[in-house]
Structure 1
Amino acid sequence: MEAYVTLTIEDNVGFVEFFHPNRNSMPSDVLLKLEQTIIEAGNNDSAKVIVLKSGGDRTFCAGASFNEVIEIDNETSGKQFFLGFANVVNAMRKCPKLIIGRVQGKTVGGGVGLAAATDYCLATQYASIRLSELSIGIGPFVIEPAVSRKIGVAAMSQMTIDAETFFTSAFAKEKGLYAEVFETTKGLDEAVNELAKKLASYNPEALNEMKKVFWKGTENWDDLLEERAEISGKLVLSKFTKDTLKRFR
């Protein structure tokens, strides 16, 4: 199957779905399309609330595409790649609609950032999380503001330092990343659909105003995440990172 990003609107709910055959990893073209689709959904009057989901039954998102990252050969292209994640996070926080996250399986690196940038996130028991960036020679710089804002600096630091460990969905719920955890994907989907339909029936003006309240204090993120993308863009050129990524290619 080929990578895709789609927007489907049903009963005033906009379902934004992304997919990549390599465990839903995120190359730059998918990131760009995801950013554009979130903006499109936010501007579509037929969608009163948005659900962010990924295709497939297993991994929610494997983070950055290692195959693309290993080809980066200068700071400009490095910064540009990581700006892809920054732009998606910023599109989510500036979207006028509430975004519900639907996390069906494991999520790594930038995928954790996507979950953290939703306004309300539901998951299955299999949705463990890992911030593996330090182990490959970079760091979760771009997504850190979103993750720290959701689970706190202490939990963010723990995950960042223990970079080779998958933390359980129970940990993610305890720290506030997930609002609820379900035993099955069926149970997850039922809960997501019920919540989305309920929110879509509420006053859209009230939802929009609450979204502004939820994200108060993040007005500097356009600049902040660009600065973080520049840091990652430099570090990805290191010999350590290049050698490490070759093992995963």
Structure 2
Amino acid sequence: MSYETLDIERQGAVATVWMNRPEVFNAFNEQLIDDLAAACGALEDDAGVRVVVLAGRGRHFSAGADLNWMQRASACTEAENLADARKFAAMLQALSGLPKPTIARVQGAALGGGTGLAAACDMVVAADNAQFSTSEVKFGIIPAVISPYVLRAIGPRHALRYFQTAEKFSAAEAKAIGLVSELVTLDELDAGVAKLVQSLLTGGPLAQQAAKELIAAISGRQIDAAVGEETALRIARQRAGAEAREGITAFLHKRPAAWQT
């Protein structure tokens, strides 16, 4: 598929989704939201894709919402704004819910919704020049749609600060509070992503999908008999599958598993 605001590069089992609006620092508008949603659907259906990397062309990952889009939204009715917000929410849910590992490759600005895009990915590799912010209150709005993903990454205590102050915070601070997984120099950004990708490609794809589903199902729940039973059912189902049999056999015979070849 071709997209107006995206370039998608394939290298083996890795698909890199490049936001391609460098002239506005990859700020997103209605078209970019539609394109990202469509790309997530296509990549989910592509069995040849094992890992998805989200990146931004140019000097910045994403400066957040396009100011022209925000201006249009401010003149819309509440019902029109609700329809717009639902599209954004659906896109973030599609990105977060991809049944394969996702990595945000972040350099420069990742502001507002750019922080949300990074948080919606499973992992973030950030250059040391990256800056993050939930800057919405500066414009009299709130980071509502991105909040589930940012809260998942940094927790409510840090969110209470950054959602209200709209401060920019560094990649080092983002790593300290849980948003960034790996912090590298700008020159090492692609190598840092590649290293993480290589680790991901050693895992069974169905097991990775099941691991994501496990986290979504168990996170935040009280540890009780019901949780214990659910985890037992999930591991039993996984162990009984062909992928587990292949993985264990490969380990015992000291050979790569089928998904690694």
Fold equivalence (TM over 0.5): yes
Question: Which residue type is aligned with residue 196 of structure 2?
Answer: L
The answer for the alignment partner of 2:97 in structure 1 is 94
SS at match of 2:212: helix
1:67 aligned residue: 68
User: What is the match of residue 171 of structure 2?
Assistant: 169
Residue 148 of structure 1: aligned partner: 151
* Alpha-carbon distance in 2 for matches of 1:6, 1:42: 17
Bigger Cα displacement from structure 2, 98-107 vs 190-199: 190-199
For these two proteins, the number of residue pairs brought into alignment is: 214
Q: How does 1:92-241 map to 2 (within 5 A)?
A: 92-163=95-166, 165-184=167-186, 186-216=187-217
* Matched position secondary structure for 2:169: coil
| Distance (Å, rounded) in 2 between the aligned partners of 1:127 and 1:216 | 32
Among 38, 41, 60, the residue aligned to 1:39: 41
CA distance in structure 1 between the partners assigned to 2:11 and 2:215 by the alignment: 25
- Please state whether the residue corresponding to 2:24 is helix, strand or coil: coil
Asked whether the equivalents of residues 19 and 57 of structure 2 are also in contact (C-alpha less than 8 Å), the reply is yes
In the superposition, the TM-score normalised over structure 2's length comes to 0.78
Distance (Å, rounded) in 2 between the aligned partners of 1:198 and 1:42: 20
Deviation at 1:201, TM superposition (A): 3.7
Letter in structure 2 aligned against 1:26 = F
**TM-score using structure 1 length:** 0.81
| Paired residue secondary structure (1:61) | coil
Q: Which runs of 5+ in 2 are unaligned?
A: 220-261
After the TM superposition, which parts of structure 1 deviate over 3 Å for at least 4 consecutive aligned residues? none
Provide Cα deviations, 1:135-165, integer angstroms capped at 9, x if missing partner: 11110011111101110011111111111x2
Residue of structure 1 in register with 2:230 after alignment: none
Residue 214 of structure 1, CA deviation: 3.0
When residues 80 and 65 of structure 1 are mapped into structure 2, their CA distance, relative to the original with a 3 A threshold, is farther
Q: Distance in 2 between matches of 1:3 and 1:161?
A: 34
Shift of 1:3: 5.9
Structure 1 residues without counterparts, runs of 5 or longer: 219-249
Matched letter for residue 7 of structure 2: T
CA RMSD of aligned residues (A): 1.7
The counterpart of 1:52, out of the listed 41, 54, 72, is: 54
| Matched residue SS, 2:130 | coil
Percent identity over paired residues = 30
Higher relative contact order (CA 8 A, sep 6+): 1
Which has the larger Rg?
2
The range that moved more, 103-112 or 6-15, is 6-15
**Cα separation, partners in 2 of 1:51 and 1:187, compared to 1, 3 Å:** same
